[in-house]
């Protein structure tokens, strides 16, 4: 646990009692603060009370006059589409609002670091797609290199649940736009921006607000090194804003679709090969094509970003290459479940929007595609240019029939349930094909979250493989 510093003897509100909220309450208490906990859900309050926490009804006006801060869980809106009523009350009362990420950055370093050589460092990863895989991959490379490391944030543990830093340790954080937008302190040593595509637009009042939330990690964080995916205009703009000139190697540009020229520091992947260039010459190359845990161009972009972060931390290219080959991938993100008679079964349940589904569909040459669920605004018409590799679609969930109308001439079958879709796709699949779950939709019509959807797919596939 990281005891929160700066609130000794003062009352601090905690709104939202999920994983991060309860970790925050424990860390505040460990640092000498007096946490005042609340959640709108009676079930969440009861669960917290069963763990020994006391509740304070933050809806009462008299609790705000001596509150030092309000710490908010990421899922609670603080600005758009409108502030939560208790956040609005905190703002009216002049109470500073923060989150666990801000508390972490103000509390992570201690006096004990004066005797450490090298001192601990933080790598923070944000972006629309690939940030979980990139975060996990950096963490994996560091572990394989024998470096002390912990992983937290939007993946793994809550940041305040981390163990106190060890000498030379690297903490790798995945940060969502919800987290970067609200944190009052953002000071990573290395910051990574993977890419940008439309998502969470209601929470940020449009794409500009969404990008601005991501940009805070760089503009306010002031990292020593910035690793920027430049395959979209937003990444190009961000890299330009941070760089002092063409040869500024504090900014490392990353691409999965183009060779990057110039005098600076670049890492890019073309035709399955990762290349690192510095000062106009190539210094390393890695063949990514045989790495099963990183299939497709989108994962090659993740590999480039993770490689660049590892190089910033002083790791040699050959050591990084060995670690890439041993990376198994993350559950529900291009996860290889198994193989039968030359057919691969891939779980990409995390592909909940059009952009992430498009990336998955470009990773394999012949696909039996399982898609559907609770469709998002705008539908999936934008996927049509990426359906050339789809042999047949097997559509499930609430939006199955809407999806059927939007995929044009692509052969399809309305299966409605995951069980029927897996059975039909497996029965039809030929050697060399891939049965791919990439739903391009939310899961909430049939499952509580994308993890449960992916677990159901995995269970059904394992049953087939074992049979």
Give 157's DSSP letter. Answer: B
CA separation for the pair 229, 214 (Å, rounded): 13
Q: What is the pLDDT of residues 17-30, one digit of tens each?
A: 988 899 999 999 99
Closest among 148, 151, 141 to 307, alpha carbons compared: 141
- How many secondary structure helices (H) and strands (E) does the chain include? 15, 19
Report the share of the chain in percent with pLDDT over 70.
100
Q: What is the pLDDT of residues 235-264, one digit of tens each?
A: 999 999 999 988 899 999 999 999 998 889
Task: Give bridge partners of residue 173 from the DSSP assignment.
Answer: 124, 152
Provide mean pLDDT across the span 372-401.
95
CA separation for the pair 328, 333 (Å, rounded): 11
CATH topology of domain 11-98: Rossmann fold (3.40.50)
Provide mean pLDDT across the span 85-93.
96
In the chain, residues under CATH classification 3.40.1190.10 are 108-325
Q: What is the pLDDT of residues 26-74, one digit of tens each?
A: 999 999 999 999 999 999 999 999 989 999 999 999 999 999 999 999 9
Residue 201 has pLDDT above 90, yes or no: no
Provide mean pLDDT across the span 147-169.
93
**pTM for this prediction:** 0.87
Assigned token pair, 444: 């909430």
Mean per-residue pLDDT of the chain: 94
Closest among 381, 413, 377 to 395, alpha carbons compared: 413
Q: How far is CA 429 from the centre of its chain?
A: 32
User: Any known ligand binding at 449?
Assistant: no
CA separation for the pair 361, 422 (Å, rounded): 17
Q: What is the pLDDT of residues 406-448, one digit of tens each?
A: 999 999 999 999 999 999 999 999 999 999 999 999 999 999 9
What torsion, rounded to 10 degrees, do the Cα atoms 456, 458, 464, 466 define?
A: -120
User: Any known ligand binding at 133?
Assistant: yes
In the chain, residues under CATH classification 3.40.50.720 are 11-98
CA separation for the pair 128, 195 (Å, rounded): 6
Q: Tell me what pLDDT residue 258 has.
A: 92
State whether residue 71 is helix, strand or coil.
Answer: strand
Closest among 381, 223, 393, 380 to 308, alpha carbons compared: 223
Q: Tell me what pLDDT residue 246 has.
A: 85
Q: Tell me what pLDDT residue 173 has.
A: 98
Residue 359 near residue 298 (C-beta atoms within 8 A): yes
H-only helix segments in 344-408: 354-361, 400-406
User: Any known ligand binding at 128?
Assistant: yes
CATH classification (class only), 108-325? alpha beta
Q: Tell me what pLDDT residue 377 has.
A: 84
Q: How far is CA 8 from the centre of its chain?
A: 33
Q: Which CATH architecture has domain 335-466?
A: Alpha-Beta Complex (3.90)
State whether residue 370 is helix, strand or coil.
Answer: strand
Task: Give bridge partners of residue 284 from the DSSP assignment.
Answer: 276
User: Any known ligand binding at 373?
Assistant: no
Closest among 358, 20, 341, 8 to 179, alpha carbons compared: 20
User: Any known ligand binding at 208?
Assistant: no
């Amino acid at each position: 646990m990281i005891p929160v510093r700066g609130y000794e003897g003062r009352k601090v509100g905690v709104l939202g009692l999920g994983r991060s909220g309860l970790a925050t309450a424990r860390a505040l208490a460990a640092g000498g603060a007096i946490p005042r906990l609340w959640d709108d859900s009676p079930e969440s309050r009861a669960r917290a009370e069963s763990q020994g926490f006391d509740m304070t009804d933050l809806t009462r006006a008299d609790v705000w006059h001596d509150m030092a801060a309000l710490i908010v869980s990421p899922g609670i809106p603080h600005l758009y589409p409108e502030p939560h009523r208790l956040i609005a009350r905190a703002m009216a009362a002049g109470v500073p609002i923060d989150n666990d990420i801000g508390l972490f950055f103000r509390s992570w370093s201690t006096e004990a670091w004066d005797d450490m050589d090298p001192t601990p460092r933080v790598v923070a990863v944000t972006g629309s797609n690939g940030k979980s895989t990139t975060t996990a991959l950096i963490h994996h490379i560091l572990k394989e290199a024998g470096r002390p490391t912990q992983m937290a944030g939007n993946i793994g543990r809550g940041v305040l649940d981390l163990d106190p830093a060890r000498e030379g340790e690297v903490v790798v954080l995945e940060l969502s736009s919800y987290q970067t937008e609200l944190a009052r302190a953002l000071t990573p040593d290395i910051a990574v921006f993977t890419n940008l595509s439309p998502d969470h637009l209601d929470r940020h009042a449009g794409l500009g607000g969404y990008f601005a939330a991501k940009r805070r990690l760089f503009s306010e964080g002031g990292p020593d090194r910035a690793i920027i995916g430049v395959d979209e205009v937003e990444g190009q703009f961000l890299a330009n804003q941070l760089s002092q000139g063409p040869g500024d190697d504090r900014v490392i540009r990353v691409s999965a679709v183009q060779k990057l020229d110039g005098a600076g520091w670049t890492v890019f992947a073309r035709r399955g090969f990762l290349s690192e260039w510095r000062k106009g010459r190539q210094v390393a190359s890695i063949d990514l094509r045989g790495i099963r845990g990183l299939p497709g161009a989108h994962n090659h972009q993740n590999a480039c970003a993770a490689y660049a972060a590892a190089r910033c931390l002083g790791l040699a290219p050959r050591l990084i290459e060995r670690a890439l080959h041993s990376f198994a991938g993350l559950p529900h993100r291009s996860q290889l479940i198994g193989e039968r008679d030359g057919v691969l079964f891939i779980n990409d349940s995390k592909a909940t929007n059009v952009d992430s589904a498009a990336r998955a569909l470009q990773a394999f040459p012949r696909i039996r595609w399982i898609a559907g669920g609770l469709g998002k605004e705008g539908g999936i018409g934008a996927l049509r240019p990426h359906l050339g590799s789809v042999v047949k679609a097997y559509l499930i969930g609430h939006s199955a029939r809407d999806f059927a109308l939007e995929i044009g001439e692509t052969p399809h079958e309305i299966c409605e349930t995951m069980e029927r879709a897996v059975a039909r796709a497996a029965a039809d699949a030929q050697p060399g094909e891939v049965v791919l779950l990439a739903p391009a939709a939310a899961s909430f019509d049939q499952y509580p979250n994308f993890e449960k959807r992916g677990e159901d797919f995995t269970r059904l596939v394992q049953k087939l493989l074992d049979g």
